[in-house]
Amino acid sequence: MERLDKFISTQTSIPRSETKKIIKQGRIKINGRTASDGGEKIDPEKDEIKLDGNPIEYRRHIYIMLNKPKGYVCSTRDGLSPTVLELVPPALSRKGLFPAGRLDKDTEGFVLITDDGELAHKMLSPKGHVPKLYFCTLRDEWDESYPSKFASGMVLEDGEKCLPAQFFPGKDKKEAFVVLSEGMFHQVKRMFEALGNKVLGLKRLQIGALPLDPDLKPGECREILHKEIDKLLEYFVFNCDSLSKNR
């Protein structure tokens, strides 16, 4: 059982401080009866709560796929730059959202925004071996030594050791795909730096077995469907064929 005002503020973008007013205005109905007290206890699984006649759907957690554009930071708060949370539309917004993992400010692509700390931990932990696929544009051409260097567990310039990763050629020698199962700070950029190269453009295309929805334009979000959520944690074997549609 849960307080009505808490239910409204966690399931919608309405802050707790405003729920009192909305209830007073008679805009909330519980199983067809007009609610009058935010402190009333409801059962989120069983009771039907409506706001202005529209049911408030109960979701214990929410999972949002964002196609992050450049210029946004992956944090909940930043004094200087806009954060990815500012791109979440009110219909999907709720308290406790955070980006699960960080893409750099100039990196684009798939960011998971959720309020489910447990899933985020599983997805980010190197022990979970959840692969993440990146598309990279390079300053210099890659060479035939790159796949084995990525696979052998590269040592970065500061001595940090990476887990084995995968390198796949792109459609020309200045494009490549990289698959990592960990997320060290600036990792893809630092791996190419260790090889004397430089990443000029970076986009995350897939997390686990879930690809970034090609219909999402930069800056757009959509809710991840229930049947897709497990895919976020699934091991996925990338090969040249599975990447060919991205080339």
Give the C-alpha separation, 88 to 142, whole Å: 37
The residue count for binding ligand URA (CB under 6 A) is 8
DSSP state of 233: G
| Paired strand residues for 94 | none
Q: Using CB under 6 A, which residues numbered 63 to 82 contact ligand URA? A: none
Q: For ligand URA, which stretch binds (CB under 6 A), given 46-54, 99-107, 110-118, 144-152?
A: 99-107
Supply the minimum distance, in Å, between the C-beta of residue 246 and ligand URA.
17
Residue 55's nearest CA partner among 31, 76, 78 is: 31
- What is the CA angle 17-62-29, rounded to 5? 50
Helix (H) or strand (E) holding 110: strand 108-114
Question: Is residue 186 involved in binding ligand URA (CB under 6 A)?
Answer: yes
Residue entry with tokens 């806009």 = 82
Question: Is residue 181 involved in binding ligand URA (CB under 6 A)?
Answer: no
Question: Is residue 179 involved in binding ligand URA (CB under 6 A)?
Answer: no
Look at residue 138 and give its three-state secondary structure: strand
Q: Using CB under 6 A, which residues numbered 199 to 228 contact ligand URA? A: 202
- The catalytic site residues sit at 104
Tell me whether residue 83 or residue 93 sits nearer to ligand URA (CB atom).
83
Question: Is residue 188 involved in binding ligand URA (CB under 6 A)?
Answer: yes
Single-letter residue type at 15: P
Question: Is residue 193 involved in binding ligand URA (CB under 6 A)?
Answer: no
Residue 207's nearest CA partner among 89, 115, 97, 128 is: 128
Question: Is residue 104 involved in binding ligand URA (CB under 6 A)?
Answer: yes
Supply the minimum distance, in Å, between the C-beta of residue 73 and ligand URA.
11
Residues that bind ligand URA (CB under 6 A): 103-104, 107, 186-189, 202
